[in-house]
Amino acid sequence: MSNSAILPYPIEPIAEMPIDDNLAEALLTSMSEYSEQLQGRRVWLACSGGRDSLALAALCVQLYWQGKLPFLPQLLHVNHGLQADSGIWAAHVANWAKAQKIPCTILQAQVNGHDEQAARQARYDVMRAQLNQDDVLLLAHHADDQAETVLMRLIQGAGANGLSGMQPWRVQTQDAHRIILWRPWLTIQRADINAYAQRLKLPYIDDPTNDGGDNVRSGLRRDIMPVLAKYNPNVIDNIARSAILLSDAQLTVKAQAAEDLQQTEVISLQLPPAQRVLNIDKLQQLPLYRQRQLLHHWLGQDEPLPPAKQLVDDVLSLSQRHDHDHQTELFWQGRQQSYTIRRYRQQLYRLSNDWLKWLESPLAEQTQSLLIHTESNLIGADVHATGRQPVPINLRNDDKFTWQLQILPNEVMRLLESNKDKVEITFAPLDRSTRIQTALATRPQSGKKLYQTLSIPSWMRESLVVVSIVLVNKKSVEDGILDNEHPIVCPILLLSPFYSWVLASDQLLASNPHYIESAISSCLTVPSSF
């Protein structure tokens, strides 16, 4: 196949050709280091057909047929149609793979944009879609790529995490789909790979756009790295070594931040990834530098890219305020979701905007009848259950979140005198003007006052529900109970998605108040795909 970008060498089997010991040692050493993680996993190799990826594919073929590599990776080539000859290049890679007896899959990608970043994202997206859960994608990034990456991030003002560069083994998760990126050549220089490719006369694709200088990476490669090499010929190895040292330092910082997070997060209010909460008092007990690192770690949970330093500084300032203005909102557009960071009293909240939108949806008043005097009775519209089986009540749900109650009818009946056999349970949103009394309070309070008393943040105030028992069966006057025209309404429980408060209801309760919480339990769930 003739094309000016393809080196004019014939496609020939390379299994018997000499192996480069330096390149082979790097690959086999990395394989040994991650042997446990590689066990039983399918391995793919991202092959553009360029010098680096074709050389890595060639080395895998040689080591496999010599019995030194226990697997033969499957090649993945992405044709995103950005070059006029993209189709020719894809066919060339397929023909080379066929000659080496290595499996090869050609993928088509649609690029949303015209820059290199858009093309890179399209390649990864289509390859990720091809891989199954926990598959391994083998990449030919090398020490020169690492040096360019570190310099790019240094120019952008990155911290230790960014300056640690690319990792040799990285678990990447997107929408619950987990793959592994494996880079065994990060200590190998481009010149060594080039020499190996020349010795084997590999017909690789020399894409003319790689060194065109139309992006930061190619500009660094063409203009900056040669100048740095004049000052120190070992600049590539030195930068790669610095990246390793910074990676170790970052792991230490991350471990400290994770330990600090365990001491400062409010466990009862966590709903990952929708809501994460920190205790400000405990946060401020830490030295200032650890507060910054903790906030950086806390904000970046569930996201592939860390937050900007400015956002961390703004959140730190929010935590340090001494006024009572709790209306300040900070916004962050992450890769996975968008978030709002808010403070309420001595707590910091990182709230996904999907979660906030869900909290604003209205709660409808509901009524459920519980008929317990037979073994199987109709509960609600279409549920048959005995008094020993839980009755589910959906208070609010959609495709992202579900807030459900589990009611045990027999336990509810223990709240009543023994001769009661029919009740209704109502679930009504707490109105600002509704007056109820919690079990520990000395008098009833309006909903507006309870927001303050119970420390309910403003965004949670539409998600408070009053649970009441209503007696609906007729009894004689001697029993002291009125008929259906004047039912007794007994509020027993106030619920939020995270907490419940027993109400002072002594009209009908024949048992201790703790029976209420055993009879009615709240459950908030987030689908795994969220």
Would residue 3 be called left, alpha or beta, if left means φ above 0 and alpha means ψ between -120 and 50 degrees?
beta
Q: Which CATH architecture has domain 267-357?
A: 2-Layer Sandwich (3.30)
Distance CA 123, CA 127 (A): 6
> What is the spatial order of strands in the sheet that 402-407 belongs to?
391-397, 402-407, 520-525
Distance CA 348, CA 351 (A): 10
CA distances 41 to 31, 70, 180, 517, Å, are 13, 12, 10, 47
Beta carbons of 184 and 138 less than 8 angstroms apart: yes
- pLDDT at position 415, please? 64
pLDDT tens string 447-459: 999 999 999 999 9
pLDDT band at 253 (very low <50, low <70, confident <90, very high): very high
pLDDT tens string 90-101: 999 999 999 999
Tell me phi and psi for residue 24, to 5 degrees.
Answer: -65, -40
Distance CA 253, CA 258 (A): 9
β strands within 80-161, DSSP E? 104-108, 136-138
- Return the bridge partners of 404, or none: 394, 523
Residue 317 predicted with pLDDT over 90: yes
Q: Which CATH class is domain 3-246?
A: alpha beta
**Least confident range of 186-190, 211-215, 319-323:** 211-215
Q: How many CB atoms lie within 10 A of CB 110?
A: 9
Residue stretches of the annotated binding site for ATP: 48-53
% of the chain exceeding 70 in pLDDT:
86
- pLDDT at position 504, please? 78
Average pLDDT, the chain: 86
| Closest alpha carbon to 259 in 286, 277, 299 | 286
Q: HSE of 500 in the Cβ direction (CA atoms, 13 Å)?
A: 18
- The answer, yes or no, to whether the previous bond of 273 is cis (omega within 30 of 0) is yes
Total-model pTM: 0.80
| Closest alpha carbon to 43 in 180, 177, 159, 175 | 180
- pLDDT at position 381, please? 37
Tell me phi and psi for residue 360, to 5 degrees.
Answer: -85, -15
- pLDDT at position 326, please? 67
Residue stretches of the annotated binding site: 48-53
Rg (CA), the chain: 32
The residues spanned by each domain of the chain are 3-246, 267-357, 361-525
Residue 418 predicted with pLDDT over 60: no
| Closest alpha carbon to 178 in 15, 373, 41, 359 | 41
DSSP 79: E
Q: Which residues make Cβ contacts (< 8 Å) with residue 340, sequence separation at least 6?
A: 329, 330, 331, 332, 350, 351, 353, 356
Beta carbons of 395 and 404 less than 8 angstroms apart: yes
Max avg pLDDT among 130-144, 391-405, 474-488: 130-144
pLDDT band at 481 (very low <50, low <70, confident <90, very high): very low
